Amino acid sequence: MCPIRFLSIATVAIASLSPSFGQAPPNSSSPAQPLSWEQLVVSDNAKCVVFLHATVPTDPTALPNISEGTGFIVSSDGYVLTCNHVVQEDDKVAIKGAVGGRYLQAYDLELIERSPSRDLCILRLPYNPNHWPSIQTIGDATPLENILSLGFPPNNDLTPQPGMITTNQAPHGRFTTNTPLAHGMSGGPVFNQTRAVVAVVGGGHQFQAGFDELIPIRFATQLLQVYASPVLNLRNQALQDTGEKVAEAEVKLEKAKDAIAAGKVDENTKQKIEQKIETAETVKASWTNHYVSYSNLNREKPGRQAGSTKQHVLNDARKAANQLSVVSEKVATLSGQKE
């Protein structure tokens, strides 16, 4: 077993944001293309991610003990989840956090609770009368599942890093990933294709590239309960259910496109599939609009505020997800996925 190390000594290249990553398509006369799941994750959650800078004062003749990392807001009250190792265990540690970007306004954060055995930590931002933006859903992950990590590598602003969960057999029940992660990304959120947070960026192995470790978000459930995270709200869990349906439908649609590209269907069937895929893309765009609207409404009016409006939007998201599921089933049958 290689010695475990935190991401502070990783030396890897980080993919930069593409010009359109996390942005809506520009206005044009052509129909807008639906956002990819990665773009949706970034656009919907960028303002929930926090750049963390922790400092412990030292002897005047020595350099200060500085640690940088990432956290993410888990409730509208400003509670932030990160890794315990990001914040030095010292009574004099001073923590600052910039919400949504490394170079934005930095706030003083309060250390609330540590969970060393899980390598998790809860911090708190100052009171915000307009509420802090929070992640909305969490979920489970499985090996070979595509993921997207968000964090702040050295001297970089918020960076999305795609990859895959390779196993769930790492020590202490963690996941391993082939995602190239770097110092500064520890404590950041990891999303899957259902747009839910499934893990927290943890550490890795010093001499084995591609074996960085992720802390399953279920390890943080107790902390999320204590600090009233909206991810445990029943409506938000229902929203997560719609995301899972959409992700399943997308897999079937992609397999159908692959079947067409490989020439596995005749011309008549190809036309039928393409028509249904066009319908599916329209329905997916509708679901995306409802998903984003719900998340924005939930952040602007957290708790029980605007409950009936949220339920209406959630119902629309469910209808769109169910419709997409039906269309994708028909596409799967036509493309030979169900023989």
pLDDT at 23: 39
Whole-angstrom distance, CA of residue 300 vs CA of residue 307: 12
Whole-angstrom distance, CA of residue 333 vs CA of residue 44: 33
User: Where is average pLDDT lowest: 20-29, 30-39, 264-273?
Assistant: 20-29
Residues with Cβ within 8 Å of 191's Cβ and at least 6 positions away in sequence, in order, are 41, 45, 147, 148, 149, 150, 197, 198
R_g over Cα of the chain = 21
Q: What is the mean pLDDT of residues 134-159?
A: 93
pLDDT at 106: 96
Are residues 115 and 262 located together in one domain of the fold?
no
Q: What is the mean pLDDT of residues 263-290?
A: 94
Are residues 186 and 201 located together in one domain of the fold?
yes
The residue ranking higher by pLDDT, 249 or 32, is: 249
Are residues 221 and 245 located together in one domain of the fold?
no
**What are the CA-CA distances from residue 318 to residues 140, 254, 294, 295 (Å)?**
20, 22, 12, 14
Is the per-residue pLDDT at 100 higher than 50? yes
Dump pLDDT digits (tens) for 154-213: 999 999 999 999 988 888 889 999 988 888 999 999 999 999 999 999 976 555 556 789
- On whether the CB atoms of residues 291 and 123 are closer than 8 A, the answer is no
Q: Residue 51: inside a domain, yes or no?
A: yes
Q: At 225, which CATH number?
A: 2.40.10.120
Are residues 82 and 139 located together in one domain of the fold?
yes
- On whether the CB atoms of residues 331 and 283 are closer than 8 A, the answer is no
- On whether the CB atoms of residues 110 and 215 are closer than 8 A, the answer is no
- Of the residues 229, 260, 288, which one is the last residue of a structural domain? 229
Q: Residue 293: inside a domain, yes or no?
A: yes
- Of the residues 211, 229, 247, which one is the last residue of a structural domain? 229
Q: Residue 149: inside a domain, yes or no?
A: yes
Are residues 303 and 164 located together in one domain of the fold?
no
pLDDT at 339: 55
Are residues 162 and 247 located together in one domain of the fold?
no
Whole-angstrom distance, CA of residue 218 vs CA of residue 142: 13
Are residues 73 and 196 located together in one domain of the fold?
yes
User: Where is average pLDDT lowest: 32-36, 53-57, 86-90, 313-317?
Assistant: 32-36
Q: How many CB atoms lie within 10 A of CB 160?
A: 23
Dump pLDDT digits (tens) for 262-276: 999 999 999 999 999
How many domains does the chain contain in total? 2
Q: Residue 36: inside a domain, yes or no?
A: yes
Q: What is the mean pLDDT of residues 291-317?
A: 88
Are residues 183 and 319 located together in one domain of the fold?
no
Q: What is the mean pLDDT of residues 318-322?
A: 97
Q: pTM to 2 decimals?
A: 0.83
Are residues 242 and 220 located together in one domain of the fold?
no
Are residues 101 and 186 located together in one domain of the fold?
yes
Are residues 196 and 287 located together in one domain of the fold?
no
pLDDT at 19: 34
Whole-angstrom distance, CA of residue 320 vs CA of residue 34: 14
**Residue 79 lies in domain:** 1-229
In sequence order, what DSSP letters do the residues of 59-127 get, joined into one string? -TTS--EEEEEEEEE-STT-EEEE-GGGS-S-TT-EEEEEESSTTS-EEEEEEEEEETTTTEEEEEPPP
Spell out a b/e string for 282-293, using b for 16 or more CB atoms within 10 Å of the CB, else e. Answer: bbbebbbebbbb
Which pLDDT band, with edges at 50, 70 and 90, does 307 fall under? confident
Q: Residue 25: inside a domain, yes or no?
A: yes
Are residues 115 and 246 located together in one domain of the fold?
no
pLDDT at 29: 46
Q: Residue 339: inside a domain, yes or no?
A: no
The residue ranking higher by pLDDT, 170 or 132, is: 132
Which pLDDT band, with edges at 50, 70 and 90, does 80 fall under? very high
Q: Could you give the dihedral angle defined by the CA atoms of residues 170, 171, 173 and 174, in that order, rounded to the nearest 10 degrees?
A: -50
Residues with Cβ within 8 Å of 63's Cβ and at least 6 positions away in sequence, in order, are none
- Of the residues 229, 262, 286, which one is the last residue of a structural domain? 229
Mean pLDDT over all residues of the chain?
86
Whole-angstrom distance, CA of residue 242 vs CA of residue 236: 10
Q: Residue 323: inside a domain, yes or no?
A: yes
- On whether the CB atoms of residues 32 and 285 are closer than 8 A, the answer is yes
